[in-house]
Every structure is written in structure tokens, then in C-alpha cells.
Amino acid sequence: MAFITKRRLLGTAPLSLSDAEGLAFESPLSMPVRNKRRTARSGSESYVLVYVAIAIVALFYYKPLFGIVAFGVTLSILFVKRPALALATILAVTPIQNDMGNASLPVRFSLAELGLAIGCFYVFFRNRGRLIFGPTVPFSVLYLLVCVLCSLDNARETTYVSIMQMVVYLIGAVVLYANLVPDIASVVKGFDLYVGFTAIFSIAGMATNFSFLGIHKNGWGASISTALVAAIELWVATDSRTRRKWLRIAVGVLGIALVLTASRGGWLAAVTGLIVICIMRRRFSLLLRASLLLIPLLAIGWVVMPQDKQETAMEFDTNNRSGSLALRYASIEYAWGEFQKNPLSGTGVGLRKEYDATNIAMAVLAESGVIGFGAFFLVQVAIWYTATQASHRVRWSDPAASALVLAMALTMARLAHGMVDHYWSRGAITCAWAAVGMATLVYTRGGKSRQLRASA
């Protein structure tokens, strides 16, 4: 019996075995959470927006050390008191890709990376080793081991930094978002804050001709395209009219901003993410609806774009040695030459820091050879397996479905962007692998409910 009557839930009638099966199988992702006040309460999003704004001012315009301490302490308190808000805050600050510090304080990590480090420490301490890993983490560990072995004889100064960077995203973000908050609805809701803050952030970018905080246009393109894909998925999934209205506004702002960045990689990522959403939800009419919403906005963005940016965006002349397309071909040729030196295991991780690694496939081949490329491919297959297997256990109206769609859409968007630009860059990649962590939570809890049904 799939639905339990109000009378039975109040305890006036006993539950049958079929009732217990239906309850265990159909509602594992919305079941009551123990100690809900500490784990699943989302709190006030406006409070976090104010907090993030204050942190930005403190970090980048006044005393960096004070800002770092204030951010770390406040985020630590959020992890203990309102962990769902802490996870949402990490997503919200991902567009701020700068190092936290200045010449007098050489700190080489961003706000989101600091948040991931604090969160991983807390969740390891709280769970004391009893963690959910899911299908992706073992393959990520395999890929990292291959990278270490391929770099033993070709260690560079950048090898350690590159490997730690991959650990933060492939393992840290996944484990944190899969283990901290068991209520998937409150975790997915963190993308609302991310979309809202990125829309506000993109307005600041447009007002300053995308020179705000010194972020490169491709960094803007990655962040805005990721937020645009997330906004479209949230817009499709919600039944709330109020939420749909503000998501439409966010889609409009982000769409115009994405065009104005003149980031072709960002454009490709947004299109890829939208196609994945349509395929995952089997709603191909969505592509038409999204086009009707986006095309006029994109046209407006193109019209108001300066002519020099239009020419740059539409440049496909490979003979222009200073053009971006020619530079990308040159980086591919360089990576291919490094790969040919050792096709099996590559020339060592960290090579990406020594040239303009704007093609993830060639960068992986050059650094870790065919073995590393195979291991990296298996990680992507594991993401697909996690999302598709878990999709059979949830209703598409459930917030858990958005976690699965976003995991596939954002990781594929990052791969598409990484084929023409830097893959291991800050910001958008954190959101993509956080979504993988959310999908892991859906997958593992779905598995537990399946076992409960079998034992019953």
C-alpha cells in the first residue's frame, strides 16, 4: 500500500506489512530526520546573503587576515548549528575565485575551498569514519593513485598542488555534500542561494565590464553558465509560482550576462547542460520553452555587447597567431607532443600549470597517459551510473530528482567547457562535484530503502 491514511499515521490503526513496505520504499528521501533542528533546518537565506556580502568586503577591501578568520569562524558555527546553510554558503561564494589574501598575506585558496576544508574536517570528526562514499569516490581514488604513480619519476613543483586540487573536488566536495545533511531537499535548496547570489554577482560584473575583483572572462563564463543551468533545472522542477517568477528573472539576468562575457566555453557549457536536463527529464518540449525564454534575452545581450567583444567571440581564424582559437590549437599541439613522450603514463601531473591547458582530454593524456585517461573516464561513468540507478527510485516531482539531474548536467557542462578552456579552475567545478555528492546521497539512501523492502 503506497499511501498511508491519516488515521493510521496517528496510530489508531496498525500498519500492515504492505504498508511498511510502501513507507520504506517510497519515502526514504523525505522521511523524518533525527535531530532535524540541527541538520535539516535551512534558516534565512537573506541572512546568508548579508553574511557573504560582509565577508567579501572584509576580505578584499579591508584586512584579509581578519576577513579569513571571521569567515572561518562564522562558517564553523553554521556547520554546527545550521549545516544546510553552511553548504548553501559554500555554493554561494564559488563565483568569488580569488585567493584570500594579498602581497602581505600570500594565501593560495579561495572562499569556497576554505569552506570545503572546514566542512570536511567537521564531517569526518562528527561521523568518526562512518561516511557515505558512493560509486564515484572509489574510482576517484583510483584516478588519484594513477596520477601519483605517473608523477613519481616526473615530479614538478606544481604536482602536489594539482593533486591536492583534485582531492578537494573529486573527494572532498562529494563526501561533504553526501554526509553532512541527510535531508536531500534542504541540501538541493542551497542551489537557490547560489543562483540568486550569482545573478547579483553577474550584475556587478556587467556594471564593471566584467572587471570586478579581477576575474577573467572565462571564469565569469564558467560561473554564470553553471548558475544558468541550475536555474533552469530548478525552474522546471518547482511547482511554486513565486519561486518560478524569481527563477525566470534569474534566468534572464544570467542569460544576458553570459552573452556579454563573450566566453564561448561558457556558451557551450550552458547548451550542454540544457540538453542533459531535457534528456534526463525526457521533456524535449523543455528545449523549445527554454529557447523561447532565452533567445530574446540573448539577442538583447548580443546587441548591447561592444563591437570588439563581438568580433572576439566570432573569431575562428586559426591563422591569427594572437587569436584565442590559434592559441588553443597551439596548446593542443603542445599537449600532444608531451603525450607522445610517454603514451602509457604521461609526463606527470602538474604539467597543466606550465602551459595553457584549455583541453581537458589532452591535458589528462599528457599528464597521466592512456592509463590516467582511462581512470578519469571511469570516474565520469561512475557519475552516470549513480544518477541513472538512483533515478529509478525517486519520483520526478521529488527534490531528489533535481540532485540527480544537476549532477549529470553540471558535470557534463564542465567537461564541455573543459574541452575549450580550463577544467580544473575554481568556482563552477565546486558546484558540479557538490551536485555529485547530492546524487550520492540520493543513491545510497535509495539503496537502504531497497534493502528494507527486501528484508520485510
Q: What is the pLDDT of residues 360-404, one digit of tens each?
A: 999 999 999 999 999 999 999 999 999 999 988 888 888 899 999
**Is 401:139 a contact under the CB 8 Å cutoff?**
no
Highest mean pLDDT among 233-242, 280-289, 376-385: 376-385
Which band of pLDDT confidence, cut at 50, 70 and 90, is reported for residue 69? confident
Q: What pLDDT does residue 336 have? A: 93
Average pLDDT, the chain: 79
Residue 235, burial from CB neighbour count under 10 angstroms (0-12, 13-18, 19+): buried
The pair phi, psi for residue 158, each rounded to 5°, is -95, 0
pLDDT digits 0-9 by tens, 84-143: 989 998 999 899 888 776 556 666 778 888 899 999 999 988 887 688 899 999 999 999
Angle at 446 (CA atoms; ends 443, 450), nearest 5 degrees:
135
3-class secondary-structure state, position 105: strand
Question: Per 3-state DSSP, what percentage of the chain is helix, strand, and coil (rounded to 5)?
Answer: 70, 0, 25
Question: Residue 102 in 3-state DSSP?
Answer: strand
Which residues does 430 contact at the CB level (< 8 Å), separation at least 6? 90, 91, 94, 112, 113, 116, 169, 173
How many CB atoms neighbour CB 150 within 10 A?
A: 23
Which residue(s) pair with 102 in the sheet? 105
Candidates 180, 200, 183, 204; CA nearest to 192 is 200
- List Cα–Cα distances, 289 to 251, 299, 417, in angstroms: 13, 16, 24
Distances (CA, A) of 262 to 97, 144, 219, 225, 417: 19, 34, 11, 12, 13
Query: Is residue 3 scored above 60 in pLDDT?
Result: no
Reported as a single tens digit per residue, the pLDDT across 402-456 is: 999 999 999 999 999 999 888 988 889 999 999 999 999 999 886 443 333 333 3
Q: What is the pLDDT of residue 158?
A: 85
| Cell numbers at 315, concatenated | 573569431
Q: How far apart are CA 448 and CA 31, in angstroms?
A: 12
What is the structure's pLDDT at 441?
94
Helix (H, G, I), strand (E, B) or coil at 152: coil
* pLDDT score at 305: 58
Which residues are CB-neighbours of 35 under 8 A, at least 6 positions away?
A: none
Paired with 105 in beta bridges are: 102
DSSP-derived secondary structure for 131-156: ---TTHHHHHHHHHHHHHHHTSSS--
Backbone angles phi, psi at 59, to 5 degrees: -80, -40
- Yes or no: say if 398 and 195 are a contact pair by the CB < 8 Å rule: no
- The answer, yes or no, to whether residue 172 has pLDDT greater than 60, is yes
Cβ atoms of 197 and 49 closer than 8 Å: yes
